[in-house]
Structure 1
């Protein structure tokens, strides 16, 4: 009997020693994993949880039902590179010198000394990976491995920057498409394949998702940050054979449902690996839909204009955040928030130190805890083009300044991947909108509220002193330069 007790004691000691030497992560003791899923040109009305018709997005809707859905969430600018610079740095994109959409062989990119979310999380030894579209400079000096990421699989710029016409045929000499190089698929710093056809494009969604899941599994015993900026629904769109004809909204709906399915694959992988309760998933979009592409573009849910404009249809986007057990389930926040608020929110919840350089984002932590009356963001600046302040906002009041804009109004949209007209020089008049009752920005009420106009013009003057305004020929004191390389 004594001998059996001794054997049992020894076995228990050995088990205890083994367990103490094995790294174990728990929700109470470990930094949370972060997954940031960033759509490209997804409209405010493209998800069934945001009112989409004839498109079913059950997995993304489940994220919303298990977390918080924002209804008043703005992309920093309504164009690719500018929006990506903003979400990764927590800055208005003109502060870090990025505007528009950078083209292949661009001599500029995001400066290496800017702090990205990936850089920030390196303070806590996070594994960091990006799987998708980068679009912050395609020179090697600008690629993700020089911006805080450990690994990268994806394309360096938009999926329409390739020598292929909208119908999938090779571009002919003398056409705009012909000037583009082949579209590379890059792993880390090295091109490993070429995206040549629309069928190749159809496989990107699942390929990038599978790579992200591999990254999650390989890093499940340490905190990780997975950034998944999908190349679609930016045109050209396509869906793999298994999803074609599955929605009532044609190829666009099929492609959105495939994206939703792949979000579900990530959610299932987290559950299988026991990571669900220690992972925050953020789902949003870089800007609104490219409306002149007609049935190959998304839906603004009635908001005015779309991508490439500073009206709400260009910048108001879906945003869903889930962190099971930390963010109360089923919340809906109508408070003003933006993609620039993601970085400081992550910094606060991970205990990392914000960059020394000025940023523009605000921590949304109180809202995520369930305080739906908290309103940390009061103001927003609608910059567009290189550095033009086209509108300012305080709470639900939005003052639009006179400016030239792209406009889709009264233009026949394109069809089946080919664009319709979208003139870039339509003159917009100064107007004040009350977005609480007029989210479509149809009724100018500045004559009724001169004190609000005055208040918002003061906000604009402060913004111009800080960041400048090309419309007013003001330089701004606190803009920073982008990175530059000699492409010769």
Structure 2
């Protein structure tokens, strides 16, 4: 299940060192995101987050210092390419952590745990199975995501689905179109931005005495 949005692909160990700050031997069992690094650095440097957009990341400072045991993420959205494939929810009123899948990859061979014919699981319609209603798991009781919940096994099943669907809609509405990272202005080399003591006439050529 590696390289997928199942827990086997998400629960990847991360190591952070901050001498004199992070308590020795601290272990954190909370999922985090690469997007959390931006607000973390901003907080550590005393800066202010932009107010003209939604920041999906959450600062990790309290977790790293051991002053908090839980992430500030109530919802986490797991993408497959450009599409939200799954959403994780930690309700504030109970101890369970739920995860809902809108679609899952078509593993091959059947009943395996990977896409061994293509070496990577794709997100296009021919390579996925859409679930309606979505697959819902209680990660606290079923971290291997082997037994989907049903109205018979979870009394709040329909309310959980509605809450998570509403969170996905709110998340999608918060997205703003951005310029493609592959546009001409982004891919052309910009030698004047190189971290060296160059000039217009001598790009990236530094004198030793300087």
TM-score by length of 2: 0.67
Are 1:439 and 2:134 an aligned pair? no
Which residue of structure 2 aligns with residue 340 of structure 1?
35
Are 1:485 and 2:187 an aligned pair? no
Which residue of structure 2 aligns with residue 405 of structure 1?
105
How far apart, in 2, do the equivalents of 1:434 and 1:365 lie?
28
| Aligned mate of 2:74, from 372, 378, 388 | 378
Correspondences of 1:192-341 after superposition (within 5 Å): 305-307=1-3, 309-341=4-36
Identify unmatched segments of 5+ residues in structure 1.
1-304, 414-418, 468-477
How far apart, in 1, do the equivalents of 2:71 and 2:41 lie?
17
Are 1:454 and 2:162 an aligned pair? yes
How far apart, in 1, do the equivalents of 2:113 and 2:65 lie?
45
Deviations 1:122-178 (A, max 9, x none): xxxxxxxxxxxxxxxxxxxxxxxxxxxxxxxxxxxxxxxxxxxxxxxxxxxxxxxxx
Identify unmatched segments of 5+ residues in structure 2.
91-96, 188-210
The aligned length equals 165
How far apart, in 2, do the equivalents of 1:444 and 1:410 lie?
16
SS of the residue aligned with 2:16?
A: strand
Deviations 1:283-305 (A, max 9, x none): xxxxxxxxxxxxxxxxxxxxxx2
Which residue of structure 1 aligns with residue 129 of structure 2?
427
Per-residue deviation, 1:315 = 2.9
Please tell me the root mean square deviation across aligned C-alpha atoms, in Å: 2.7
How has the CA–CA distance of structure 1 residues 327 and 394 changed in structure 2, closer, same or farther, with 3 Å as cutoff? Answer: same
Correspondences of 1:68-83 after superposition (within 5 Å): none
Per-residue deviation, 1:310 = 2.4
Per-residue deviation, 1:428 = 4.7
SS of the residue aligned with 2:177?
A: coil
Higher relative contact order (CA 8 A, sep 6+): 1
How has the CA–CA distance of structure 1 residues 316 and 482 changed in structure 2, closer, same or farther, with 3 Å as cutoff? Answer: farther
How far apart, in 2, do the equivalents of 1:411 and 1:336 lie?
25
